[in-house]
Amino acid sequence: MRSFEVCLSPALFEFRTTTENYIVVVVDVLRATTAFCAAFDSGADRVIPVSGLAELMEYKNKGFLTAAERDGRKVDFADFGNSPTFLLQQDLSGKELAYSTTNGTQAVEKAMSCGNIAIAAFANLQAITVWLSEQQKNIIVLCSGWKNTFSFEDTLCAGALAESLKLSAEYAISCDAAVAALTLWQRAKNDLETVVKTASHYQRLLALEQHADLQHCFRLNSSQSVPVWDGRGFSDLSVNKD
């Protein structure tokens, strides 16, 4: 029996109890991990997470496409912001995209020392569940949160992943955070759109009129992408990739 653990924010990651044979699954529903999936759906070859804007500018100066946001707003010099619906309208075939966000890429950086990292969102829930089941490893879900604090939507997604994996009877929930995430998800899933409207980051993006993104980010299984760390960035390991 493999274990399923949830860290409710990057600040708690150092206190994880799972220490062997595990994959870290980073979740940032609004919007980084959803946008990673969208980039691969638009043909991107690799997404390179970058924590700081100075480093991102170095990538831009080298000719990379760049995407970045801070506090929900596009960074001026970047080619793209953090909008999955906008990325879905682009042709990124064969491109490498350097990416920096307020929370998601910071969470990835926390997990980098572990080596094995995958990306999850509501968008690729089924695809990432299938892939994780095939890996036969323990799982730590790292919720990106909001500036190291709790995030409702990321916790709900962790709960959805817990339910999907637990149905296989191969995983045991190993901490109260995972129990809480699963409980929240089971109570919210039948009216998800209504429930998530109460979340602070949902309201933050609503104020920025990101209506299309807010609808897209809570749509289940719109993507088949399976973004997995390859040592330099994330590549799509989806079985349906051409």
Helix (H, G, I), strand (E, B) or coil at 89: coil
- The pLDDT confidence band at residue 113, using thresholds 50, 70 and 90, is confident
- The H or E element spanning position 239 is none
The predicted-structure confidence for 74-102, as pLDDT tens digits, reads as follows: 999 999 999 999 999 999 999 999 999 99
Residue 189 DSSP code:
G
Q: How far is CA 69 from the centre of its chain?
A: 15
Supply the pTM of this predicted model: 0.96
**Residue 145 in tokens:** 């949160």
At residue 240, the pLDDT reads 61
CA 21 to CA 17: how far, in whole Å?
12
Among 136-140, 219-223, 238-242, the range scoring the smallest mean pLDDT is 238-242
CB atoms within 10 A of CB 161: 28
The whole-chain average pLDDT of the chain stands at 95
Confidence of residue 166 (pLDDT cuts 50, 70, 90): confident
- pLDDT confidence of 221, banded at 50, 70, 90? very high
Select from 134, 130, 137, 154 the least CA-distant residue to 33. 154
DSSP character at residue 42: T
Amino acid in position 140: I
Distance, in Å, from the CA atom of 226 to the CA atom of 242, rounded to the nearest integer, reads: 13
> What's the pLDDT score for residue 177?
98
Q: Check pLDDT > 90 for residue 167.
A: no
- The phi, psi pair for 89, rounded to 5°, reads -90, -5
Residue with tokens 């959805």: 160
Largest CA distance in the chain: 49
Q: Which of 55-59, 93-97, 112-116, 205-209 has the lowest mean pLDDT?
A: 112-116
Question: Does residue 242 surpass a pLDDT of 60?
Answer: no
CB 67 within 8 Å of CB 35:
yes
Residue 74: phi and psi, rounded to 5, are -60, 135
| 48 strand-pairing partners | 98
Whole-number percent of the chain with pLDDT over 90: 93
Checking if the pLDDT of 241 tops 70, the result is no
pLDDT band of 230, cuts 50, 70, 90: very high
- Which CATH architecture does the domain made up of 2-230 adopt? Alpha-Beta Complex (3.90)
CA distance 66 to 77: 8
pLDDT in tens, 28-80: 999 999 999 999 999 999 999 998 999 999 999 999 999 999 999 999 999 99
